């Protein structure tokens, strides 16, 4: 239960009518794509998701029907950006990484200035174990939208879990990106790095300083309680 404290800081899920929704910004418009939450497992990153190990025939048909609907829009030239996104999301549901990547890239060609499309492309490359292209995609997302934390978070996770960086090199990355994007999300992922390395005092001090500016945040107060408990347990 206590391990969920950090997730409450990192993850925001919007559940409407039994479904989960992604929103992709396209200029002043947004594209809404509905995905049944029974078919999706959400990870730390809002965009990253994995299909179940086994899909039922009904689930496969749902994904296939949505792909067909998106492809019909593409043929008609209707809302191409949203249609390519919808096609990509549902191809991922069927485990078609190459097909999803191709559709995401077509969406990026239409509107390359949205951070979310580069995060999605990076995630597909990451899941295909193409870490070099994943890194470049996240960096592109940071370039086009440096104020949004998602690509920083994905890039730091990539460096932490899929690179040969040692802890000192990795920490320099955390501090570099926190300097560029001083958001709660980056503080949270750096705090997890400190926690995993048993550096509880530094993590506690960071959140205590945060609360001097942003007072009475219940998630942070709860996480501070958890960190203090972990510190106490480490001495036993």
Q: Are 112 and 128 in contact (CB under 8 A)?
A: no
* 26 alpha carbon, distance to own chain's centre: 18
The band of 1, judged by pLDDT with boundaries at 50, 70 and 90, is very low
Look at 46-50, 74-78, 128-132 and tell me which has the smallest mean pLDDT: 46-50
Instruction: Pick the most confident of 44-58, 188-202, 214-228.
Output: 188-202
Does the pLDDT at position 42 exceed 50?
no
Identify the residue whose tokens are 């991922």: 92
Look at 29-33, 92-96, 145-149, 158-162 and tell me which has the smallest mean pLDDT: 29-33
Look at 3-17, 127-141, 148-162, 178-192 and tell me which has the smallest mean pLDDT: 3-17
Identify the residue whose tokens are 């990795």: 170
What CATH number was assigned to the domain covering residues 4-197? 1.25.40.10
DSSP helix, strand, coil percent of the chain (3-state; round to 5): 65, 10, 25
The band of 53, judged by pLDDT with boundaries at 50, 70 and 90, is low
Q: Are strands 19-26 and 15-16 parallel, antiparallel or unpaired?
A: antiparallel
- 103-119 pLDDT, tens digit per residue, is 999 999 999 999 999 99
153: nearest Cα among 7, 3, 1:
7
* 235 alpha carbon, distance to own chain's centre: 34
Give this prediction's pTM.
0.77
The band of 235, judged by pLDDT with boundaries at 50, 70 and 90, is confident
Does the pLDDT at position 18 exceed 60?
no
Secondary structure class of 36 (helix, strand, coil): strand
Does the pLDDT at position 137 exceed 80?
yes
Both tokens assigned to 154: 């994905």
pLDDT of residue 54: 83
Both tokens assigned to 21: 């929704």
The set of long-range contacts for 161-165, using a CB threshold of 8 Å and a minimum separation of 24, is 162/126, 162/131, 162/134, 163/131
Q: Which residue has the higher pLDDT, 47 or 187?
A: 187
* Spatial distance between the Cα atoms of 191 and 208, rounded to a whole number of angstroms: 12
- 62-76 pLDDT, tens digit per residue, is 999 999 999 999 999
pLDDT average, residue stretch 209-223:
90
Spans of all domains in the chain:
4-197, 198-236
Q: How many CB atoms lie within 10 A of CB 220?
A: 22
What lies within 8 Å, CB to CB, of 37 at 6+ separation is: 15, 18, 19, 20
* Percentage of the chain exceeding pLDDT 70: 78
163: nearest Cα among 193, 189, 135:
135
pLDDT average, residue stretch 116-129:
96
| HEC secondary structure over 138-182 | HHHHHHHCCCCCHHHHHHHHHHHHHCCCCHHHHHHHHHHHHHHCC
pLDDT average, residue stretch 213-224:
89
């Amino acid at each position: 239960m206590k391990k969920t404290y950090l997730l409450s800081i990192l993850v925001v899920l919007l559940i409407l009518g039994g479904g989960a929704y992604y929103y992709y910004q396209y200029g002043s418009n947004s594209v809404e794509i509905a995905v049944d939450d029974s078919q999706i497992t959400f990870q730390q990153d809002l965009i990253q998701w994995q299909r179940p190990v086994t899909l039922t025939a009904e689930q496969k048909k749902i994904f296939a029907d949505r792909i067909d609907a998106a492809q019909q829009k593409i043929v008609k030239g209707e809302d191409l950006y949203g249609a390519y996104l919808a096609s990509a999301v549902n191809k991922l549901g069927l485990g078609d990484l190459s097909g999803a990547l191709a559709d995401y890239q077509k969406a990026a060609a239409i509107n390359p200035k949205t951070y979310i499309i580069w995060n999605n492309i990076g995630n597909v490359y990451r899941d295909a174990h193409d870490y070099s292209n994943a890194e470049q995609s996240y960096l592109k997302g940071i370039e086009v939208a440096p104020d949004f934390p998602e690509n920083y978070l994905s890039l730091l996770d990539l460096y932490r879990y899929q690179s040969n960086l040692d802890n000192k090199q990795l920490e320099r990355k955390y501090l570099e990106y926190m300097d560029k994007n001083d958001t709660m999300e980056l503080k949270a992922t750096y705090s997890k790095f400190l926690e995993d390395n048993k550096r509880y005092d530094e993590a506690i001090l960071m959140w205590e300083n945060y609360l001097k500016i942003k007072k009475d945040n219940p998630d942070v107060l709860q996480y501070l309680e958890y960190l203090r408990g972990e510190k106490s347990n480490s001495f036993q």
